[in-house]
Amino acid sequence: MASKAQQRRHIQNSSNHQQEIVKIIQRVARRFGVDRVWRDWIEICAIALAKLDLSRAEARETRYLEVVGRYERDELDLLVQAFAHLQLEFQTLVEHGDFADVLGATYMMLDLGNAETGQFFTPYCVSRLMAGMIMGSREDLAATVAQRGFVRVHEPAVGAGGMVVAAAQAIRDVGVDYWDCMHVSAIDVDLRCVHMAYIQFTLLGIPAVVVHGNALTLAEWDHWYTVAHIANGWSERLRLRRMADQMLDVISSTDIQTRKEAGPAPAVAAVPAQPEAVLVEPARAGQMMLF
């Protein structure tokens, strides 16, 4: 489990809304245990926020009824109150422009971190520092957006989503609108993490698809599209982006073949081909990796 020092640090830095969420989860947990209640609560919160995704509406509604069926009426009322506190917390963050990994910190406050699996969420101050370095300056981001239309952020082990939240804040802090100029593809093998990340991205208006899957085996079991992804037409924007990238690949391949047929050019410098391909392609695609 998380160390007592880690738990105390998160509690000391928590807001009133987070503290109320913790109290409610612990109260309802008298029958089921904290881990079970937390897992159920974030799942029904995620399903409640995913109503706009009509392609999965029926299956998720069935699952929602299955989960809430475990609880008494008074317990459900408490879980609804916890959801209200969560929404108010994110409303406050947006109004003040100072983001946070709310659910990751709350998870640690409940002492749910698992030392055996290494599942401890990075403190948000560290995520914020790393995201600022990765996302670059206002000029870098503006140049990418001007050339490519938007930047893509990929997170292969999203956890509660703290690094992505920090990336959104870093983009916003340099004056770029992440709702329109950033899209996130995130994945995690742990369904709890998928739900936590999806909730946080949705409540912050981050365009994203959160995949329940395995980044190593490339297995994918479910996709969660945030409201910002659906409302801002990101599926079509990504489709057009892929088409443009394919056309550029064809043009590039044709140019290479033409140069081969014309014979070798005068040697200027020996440049390894593979490192160039590894570095140039992600940069051309406007993709950034968060770890």
- pLDDT one-digit tens code per residue, 113-134: 654 445 566 778 888 888 888 8
Domain assignment of residue 239, yes or no:
no
Any idea what the Cα angle at residue 267 is, between residues 265 and 268, rounded to 5°?
A: 120
Contacts of 234 (CB under 8 A, 6+ apart): 183, 207, 228
114, containing H or E segment = none
Percent of the chain with pLDDT over 90: 50
Residue 154 has pLDDT above 80, yes or no: yes
Domain assignment of residue 237, yes or no:
no
Q: How confident is the model at residue 6 (pLDDT cuts 50, 70, 90)?
A: low
Q: What's the whole-number mean pLDDT along residues 24-42?
A: 95
Structurally, how many domains does the chain consist of?
A: 1
Percent of the chain with pLDDT over 70: 78
Domain assignment of residue 197, yes or no:
yes
Residues 165-174 pLDDT 10s: 999 998 988 8
Domain assignment of residue 200, yes or no:
yes
Residues 237-266 pLDDT 10s: 888 887 877 777 677 666 555 665 665 544
Domain assignment of residue 241, yes or no:
no
Tokens of 279: 């570095």
- Structure pTM? 0.80
Domain assignment of residue 32, yes or no:
yes
Tokens of 271: 């440049």
Domain assignment of residue 101, yes or no:
yes
Residue 257, number of CB atoms within 10 A of its CB: 10
Residues 208-245 pLDDT 10s: 999 999 999 999 999 999 999 999 998 898 888 878 77
Q: What's the domain range around 215?
A: 4-231
The strands making up 208-214's β-sheet, listed across from edge to edge, are: 219-225, 208-214, 182-188, 151-155, 287-289
Domain assignment of residue 185, yes or no:
yes
